[in-house]
């Protein structure tokens, strides 16, 4: 049973879904799932495999169904943390447990730092904090090259460059930058340019997320149990390395999950993960913290 609601804030109309009863029937808090730039649709497979829990998903402001009215088009962890805090308050069922992936994991770390009473346990899956890695300056250069390809040649070229960047194993050396430009056709992407330049992943609108530096003192002082998770297939690529760097920054080991960066996805978004195994692993990690 899914119910969809809208929370109107000063800057956005935030659309969120509640899968299951509130108040919960099992005595546990809701399980909040967040992503960035992915909206709630990306958690359909994981929510379906977590049917024993009341699950909450939402669309970040300006993405999916959530309309922003603040006159901005950038995405920052601080603003999104305020939105998540407002949603948790609106639920009236906090503190919550949280699974957060990619940019959503960055937002979640900001939530723990700013609102330490909101979350009991956070599983932060592959936060793309690229400045934390030893080759941070080269990672910024690689990110800028993705935006340049997008600005010059459109979505297909930008996404091909993004896939090439995120699948590169190890540090970004000159061998990476000496490669020819990624061919959209090689990834099954259109070469035609539709003229749009507003993609939050390929433009610079989300750079504040990957540039973010977590407030270590605030996070470690919070009562939240924070788990930094990495996919077993991601260890050598950028999001695996950023996960390792984040865990090191927080002074904790990495927790390994099945599959890759989208390991909780079915095949509806392309390369499928292992959603059954992923859901089991998430359940184990959350139960260990309960």
Ranges of residues in the chain with a pLDDT under 50 are none
DSSP 83-103: HHHHHHHHHT-PSEEEEEETH
C-alpha R_g of the chain: 18
Q: How far apart are CA 1 and CA 19, in angstroms?
A: 6
Burial class of residue 220 in the structure, from the number of CB atoms within 10 Å of its CB (0-12 exposed, 13-18 middle, 19+ buried): middle
For 228, residues 6+ apart whose C-beta sits below 8 A from its C-beta are 124, 127, 243, 246, 247, 250, 252, 254, 255
Q: Is 156 left (phi over 0), alpha (psi -120 to 50) or beta?
A: alpha
Token readout for 80 is: 């999104």
Cα dist from 91 to 26, 63, 94, 146, 162, whole Å? 16, 21, 7, 38, 36
Q: What is residue 290's predicted lDDT score, i.e. its pLDDT? A: 60
Please answer whether residues 240 and 274 qualify as being in contact, where contact means their C-beta atoms are separated by less than 8 angstroms.
no
pLDDT digits (tens, 9 = 90+) for 238-265: 999 999 999 999 999 999 999 999 999 9
Taking the C-alpha atoms of 84, 229, 64 and 46 in order, what is their torsion angle to the nearest 10 degrees?
Answer: -110
For 32, residues 6+ apart whose C-beta sits below 8 A from its C-beta are 55, 56, 57, 84, 87, 88, 96, 97, 98, 99, 119
Q: What is residue 180's predicted lDDT score, i.e. its pLDDT? A: 94
Q: Report the 10 Å Cβ neighbour count for 65.
A: 16
Q: What angle do CA 56, 61, 67 make, to 5 degrees?
A: 110
């Amino acid at each position: 049973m899914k119910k969809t609601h809208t929370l109107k804030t000063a800057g956005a109309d935030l659309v969120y879904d509640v899968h299951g009863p509130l108040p919960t029937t099992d005595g546990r808090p809701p399980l909040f799932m967040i992503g960035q730039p992915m909206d709630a649709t990306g958690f359909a497979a994981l929510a379906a495999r977590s049917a024993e829990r009341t699950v909450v998903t939402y669309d970040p402001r300006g993405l999916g169904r959530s309309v922003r009215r603040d006159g901005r088009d950038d995405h920052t962890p601080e603003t999104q943390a305020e939105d998540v805090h407002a949603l948790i308050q609106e639920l009236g069922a906090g503190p919550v447990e949280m699974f957060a992936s990619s940019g959503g994991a960055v937002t979640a770390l900001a939530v723990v730092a700013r609102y330490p009473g909101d979350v009991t346990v956070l599983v932060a899956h592959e936060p793309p904090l690229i400045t934390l890695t030893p080759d941070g300056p080269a990672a910024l250069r690689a990110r800028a090259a993705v935006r340049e390809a997008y600005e010059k040649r459109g979505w297909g070229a930008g996404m091909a460059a993004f896939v090439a960047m995120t699948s590169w194993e190890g540090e970004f050396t000159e061998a990476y930058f000496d490669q020819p430009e990624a061919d959209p056709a090689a990834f099954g992407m259109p070469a035609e340019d539709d003229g749009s330049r507003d993609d939050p992943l390929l433009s610079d609108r989300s750079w504040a997320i990957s540039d973010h530096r977590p407030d270590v003192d605030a996070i470690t002082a919070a009562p939240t149990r924070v788990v930094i998770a990495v996919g077993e297939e991601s260890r050598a690529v950028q999001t695996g390395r950023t996960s390792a760097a984040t865990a090191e920054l927080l002074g904790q080991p990495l927790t390994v999950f099945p599959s890759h960066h989208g390991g909780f996805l079915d095949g509806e978004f392309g390369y499928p993960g292992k959603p059954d195994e992923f859901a089991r692993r998430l359940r184990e990690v959350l139960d260990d913290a309960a």
